[in-house]
Amino acid sequence: MKQSLKIKSTLTPKTASSSRNEGGFTLIEMMVAVSIFIVIITISLTSILNVSNIQKKTATFRAVNDNLNFAIEKMAREIRTGSDYCAQSCSSPSSFNFTNSEGVVVEYLLANKKIEVSYDGGDFLPMTSSEVVVEKLLFVVRGDGPDGLQPLVTIIISGYAGEKKTIKSQLNIQTTVSQRSIDS
């Protein structure tokens, strides 16, 4: 008794239609994937560059704000307690002198695009940093003569920091200071 075994082959030759179904990507699928990747990277890089520019703009605004606010507060504090506004005559609207509460003659002026101060005719010292450009310093004095009005000084400052248009920060500040002691 002989048994014969018949084995059927399930292997068939490869046809053109079956080779397309094998693993891998077609050229069009690869181009679409790369295009989507490029779009996502471009959007991400643009966002990163915008955040960087915003950070630079914030830093320049902080610099100009801190410098000009410091200058105007210091001037206002000394002028408020001073007297004899323009005692040595104000030679221009961008300079101002007076006698402070300690009897020292103080002069403020705009020079070299910085606000500078001098005490008792000494050297002028800068009040603003080199990164801040002061375009305008203006003092308007009212009531400093024998007119019976209390002396008032309006201080106007305009400046900026940063050179490029995208990060340049401009700031304009104005305050009015009244002499504390009654004008006699």
What phi, psi does 46 have (nearest 5°)? -60, -40
- Is residue 4 included in any domain, yes or no? no
pLDDT of residue 143: 75
Residue 114 counted as domain residue? yes
Contact partners, residue 150, CB within 8 Å, separation at least 6: 143, 178, 179, 182, 183
Task: Give per-residue pLDDT as tens, 115-154.
Answer: 999 998 889 999 998 889 999 999 888 876 666 678 888 9
Task: Look at residue 77 and tell me if it is in a domain.
Answer: yes
- The structural domain count of the chain equals 1
Range of the domain at 112: 30-178
Task: Give exposure, 42-77, as e/b (b: 16+ Cβ within 10 Å).
Answer: eeeeeeeeeeeeeeebeebbebbbebbeebbeebbe
* 153 within some domain: yes
Q: Is residue 142 part of a domain?
A: yes
Q: Above 90 in pLDDT, residue 157? A: yes
Would 143 be classed as within a structural domain? yes
Asked if residue 19 has pLDDT above 60, the reply is no
Residue 125 lies in a domain: yes
Residue 126 lies in a domain: yes
| pLDDT value of position 82 | 87
Count Cα atoms within 13 angstroms, Cβ side, for 39: 6
Overall residue count recorded for the chain in this entry: 184
Q: DSSP assignment of the chain, as one string?
A: ---------------HHHHTTSSS--HHHHHHHHHHHHHHHHHHHHHHHHHHHHHHHHHHHHHHHHHHHHHHHHHHHHHHH-BSTTTT---STTEEEEE-TTS-EEEEEEETTEEEEEETT---EESS-TTEEEEEEEEEEES-STTSPPPEEEEEEEEEE-SSTTT-EEEEEEEEEE-SSPP-
Instruction: Please provide the average confidence, as pLDDT, over all residues in the chain.
Output: 83
